[in-house]
Amino acid sequence: MKKKSAVLIIIAVLVSLLAGCGSSNGSTKSNDTSKDNSFQKIKDAGTLKVGLDDSYPPMEFRDEKNNLVGFDIDLGNEIGKNLG
């Protein structure tokens, strides 16, 4: 009896895990970008906003004049230049 219970529990857990892998909109494509308009939103706003935490040098930190500096700042500036 204990063996049957254990098997039923394992099956129930597996079924619930596999049910979470299904797609809610019926699409089987996970990287469907045909409706992604993120880039257009950035272009329309004219601003690229980047979130960061300034306590992780050399990635981002504040200099003596309290300006944000670091790799992430430089990368964001270059992306902005390339986007125009």
**pLDDT of the residue at 30:** 56
Where are the chain's structural domains?
A: 44-84
* Tokens standing for residue 29: 């494509």
Mean pLDDT by 10 residues, the chain (84 residues): 78 78 59 76 86 91 95 92 85
**pLDDT of the residue at 50:** 87
Polymer length of the chain:
84
Question: Global pTM?
Answer: 0.51
Tell me the Ramachandran region of residue 70: left when phi exceeds 0, alpha when psi lies from -120 to 50, beta otherwise. Answer: left
The enclosing H or E element of 61 equals: strand 61-62
**pLDDT of the residue at 68:** 94
